[in-house]
Structure 1
Amino acid sequence: MKMDLNSDLGESLGAWRMGDDDAMLGIVSSANVACGFHAGDAAGILQTLRRAAERGVTVGAHVAYPDLAGFGRRAMDVASADLQADVIYQIGALQGLAAVAGSAVRYVKPHGALYNTIAHDERQARDVIAAIRAIDPSLVLVGLAGSPLLGWAQASGLRTVAEAFADRAYMPDGSLVSRREKGAVLHDAHAVAERMLRLATEGVVTAIDGSTVRLQAESVCVHGDSPGAVEMARQVRALLERSGVTVAPFVDEGAAT
């Protein structure tokens, strides 16, 4: 058994510190690095990329709506031409910084509201898919396990990876509970680790109403900005490995693009 463990990094902005990238890079196998649209400044992003390269952590572009004030968590009805250009711009910027850092961008994982929107909104999903194909069709698209997005992307020729969330509650239909709702974000590191072990070994998680949801996922995310994120990621990895699950990236950092 194998599972990727990823986290959203590079999200500090100027004097605003977000998460603990150094600690997380010692735990995760893949890093979703901010591209400046929802968070992150160029110097901080470059530093995160350099440390990811030193640790051998695979890097992905964490593209988002242009929403610094809302941390990319506000839905936007962006015109297709703008959305495609925005995604290309973000990937290209991260590719340049990654090259200087001695790394390379291997995948794309949309952030926040963009991630949730394209899971089901076909128009915006196809815009993001088109943007990835335009700049580098070898990039892998990471999306919500069980969502229509994965099928649309596969039909276009992109490789996809289905993702589950360690620190988020699920609805019975496999969607994420809105952050506006009580209980949407999970904080008990031990319980989260047990939950992810069950996902990795049985392919199921317990929904917020107590029902069982079947999810086939190749990657698990621990949000870097969540309180106690480092300890949560550490416990998830430790329990998976003790139970015989190999934690490794879905794209080898040394693989050719």
Structure 2
Amino acid sequence: ADAAESVNSIENPRALRILAFPGADGEFVMREDDGDFAAASAGNTADTRMNFVWRDGNGSSQFIISGVAGYDAAVESVPQKRNWNVVFRGVACADFAHVRVFVGSQELNTGEFAISYEGEESTLSLSVFVKDVPARSEVRVIVDGGLQVAADPKVGDAYRFLLQAQVPYRGKEMAFDAVSEANGSAGAIAAISTLEYENESEAEKYRNNVDMLNAYATDQPSVVKWAQWRCTLPVSVKHALEEILLRSVE
């Protein structure tokens, strides 16, 4: 429910945000009551059934919100109209022209509902918002052609992190090459582990000991150390990359 509505309120909410996750069918029943604990405990509730159809007979995806039904007193306690925000999380961006919304048997015009998408820098979510829907009416959101599971965003996340990291460019480049070659999998961790120095003071020592007048004299130990440092990463950066690469690993 909207935060402004939910603070200190005991009323059943008028605005609701529903999260649906991709890959399989699912269902859920939202039960509400009129504040009578005994009646609610006895199952006398107002029920709103929700169904997610990952692929229907036409290869499309559907989310269906049935009209509220159940115990009369509980149904009467539900707002007469509701705002629904159906959020499909973790999906690729669909063509907005392929998204249709029905209230009852009536298909809405595109100006009567809103669609938005949050890309890989956010939550990979397609949101469909429709307002002032009679609570007893069915809402059906159809994505023609079907939703698609979003591509793994870990490569992009690693790129954005390295872009902001205050480390030598060559180290960033080598780390990102490892992530890209592993397609964002945990397999990149071994390569990244070789680009490591223990602490900032160690790197500072290598940097300060370089004889820049003889910077190309690769037989000098200080120059060799400097070249190595320019291709390394602090432990803190390595650990941050590990956190990204290990997300969703089961």
Q: Which structure would you say has the larger RCO, counting Cα contacts within 8 Å and 6 or more residues apart?
A: 1
Q: TM-score, normalized by length of structure 1?
A: 0.22
Structure in which a larger fraction of residues adopt strand:
2
Q: TM-score, normalized by length of structure 2?
A: 0.23
